[in-house]
Amino acid sequence: MPVKTESLINAIKQMREASPKRKFEQSVDLSIILKGIDPKKQEGRFAEDVVLSQWTGEPRKILVFADGELARRARDAGADLVMSRQDIEELQDQRKRVKKLAADYDFSIAQADFMVMIGKVLGPVLGPRGKMPKPIPPTADPRALIERLKRTVRVATKDQAALHANIGVESMSDEQLAANAGAIIEAVERRLSEKGGKVDAVIIKTTMGKPVRVEVQK
């Protein structure tokens, strides 16, 4: 990894010093500047889902497509919305409603035998947005996957050679914030190496604070 844990912790300490106290708890944001790729070209684009060791405090909304016992288990496990086969069928030709689902929910999972129907009805909207659900067997316990998704953050290139992600809140310890930042940086570096790119700079800041550069090994 191009950034040592010690460097991350030092930068987080500097970030706290450079961030005046506010009447609300600020988020902590990570920016990664990329080098050697052009995100305006297809080969320079990527999206990565990173499971963090620590919950960031930012709620992730989970949508589950399921019927019967799997639907019940999903509700018990904390799914934010459970949609049945009939619910999916009712979305046919309802592009505006499907777009709203894609915007409102961060991740989704689906009963495996729903996937063909989801592909036909929802795929044209969910696919390009990277929001297609992860399939699970009807007999599976979705709790572990839902809990994992609630600790997952998606980082993706857009028009600029940079990635941005929330890694936590001020009340988290330096070590917790560093662990989340390190997991994202490591995952991004792995994808960049496949594309011939690398991490050029890493910046960390609170919502209203000044940005602090993290030492990066060149």
Q: Facing residues of 156 across strands?
A: 47
**Boundaries of every domain in the chain:** 5-57+151-214, 62-149
The fraction of the chain above a pLDDT of 90, given in percent, is 76
CA dihedral 155, 160, 162, 165 (to 10 degrees): -40
Kindly report, residue by residue over 168-203, the tens digit of the pLDDT.
999 999 999 999 999 999 999 999 988 889 999 999
Kindly report, residue by residue over 94-133, the tens digit of the pLDDT.
999 999 999 999 999 999 999 999 999 999 999 998 899 9
Q: Which two tokens stand for residue 21?
A: 């106290």
Instruction: Count Cβ atoms below 10 Å from residue 19 Cβ, excluding itself.
Output: 18
Q: What is the mean pLDDT of residues 50-79?
A: 93
User: Which of the following CATH numbers is that of domain 62-149: 1.10.357.10, 3.40.50.790, 3.40.50.2300, 1.10.760.10?
Assistant: 3.40.50.790
**CA-CA distance, 61 to 47, in Å (whole number)?**
18
Fold of the 5-57+151-214 domain: Ribulose 1,5 Bisphosphate Carboxylase/Oxygenase (3.30.190)
Q: pLDDT band at residue 55, thresholds of 50, 70 and 90?
A: confident
In degrees, rounded to 5, the angle at the alpha carbon of residue 48 between the alpha carbons of residues 159 and 115 is 110
**pTM of structure:** 0.85
Q: Facing residues of 164 across strands?
A: 31
